[in-house]
């Protein structure tokens, strides 16, 4: 099993996830304030895309580190992407 070894990339991923967390808090606030459904959907879509980008950045880091065979990376992408 591979791990994120590069401290800078790990920190960047953590920062991105913190921003996603903030986006989700914003979505919760919109729901509490009974905002328009389209506005809520737009923010949910933005959070989902941010999570997707985080996932693909993590996979890219794993490939750069060379810790996973290509078939394993492909399997992970097929399973989670």
Q: Where residue 39 falls among pLDDT bands split at 50, 70, 90?
A: very high
Residues present in the chain in total: 81
What are the helix (H) ranges across 1-81? 7-32, 37-65, 70-80
Overall average pLDDT of the 25-34 stretch: 97
- The CA distance from 7 to 4, in Å, is 8
Q: Is 22 a member of any domain?
A: yes
State the total domains in the chain: 1
Q: Residue 53: give the domain boundaries.
A: 7-80
Q: Is 2 a member of any domain?
A: no
Q: Where residue 50 falls among pLDDT bands split at 50, 70, 90?
A: very high
Q: Under the phi-then-psi rule, with left for phi > 0, alpha for psi from -120 to 50, and beta for the rest, what region is 34?
A: left
Overall average pLDDT of the 53-68 stretch: 83
Take residue 36 and report the two structure tokens written for it: 């328009």
Q: Is 46 a member of any domain?
A: yes
Q: Is 64 a member of any domain?
A: yes
Q: Is 1 a member of any domain?
A: no
Overall average pLDDT of the 20-24 stretch: 96
Contact 70, 61 (CB under 8 A): no
CATH code: domain of residue 27: 1.20.58.1000
């Amino acid at each position: 099993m591979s791990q994120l070894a590069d401290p800078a990339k790990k920190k960047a991923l953590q920062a991105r996830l913190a921003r996603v967390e903030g986006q989700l808090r914003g979505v919760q606030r919109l729901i509490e304030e009974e905002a328009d459904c389209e506005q809520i959907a737009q923010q949910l879509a933005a959070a989902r895309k941010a999570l997707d980008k985080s996932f693909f950045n993590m996979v890219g880091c794993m490939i750069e580190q060379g810790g996973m065979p290509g078939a394993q990376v492909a399997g992970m992408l097929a399973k989670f992407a």
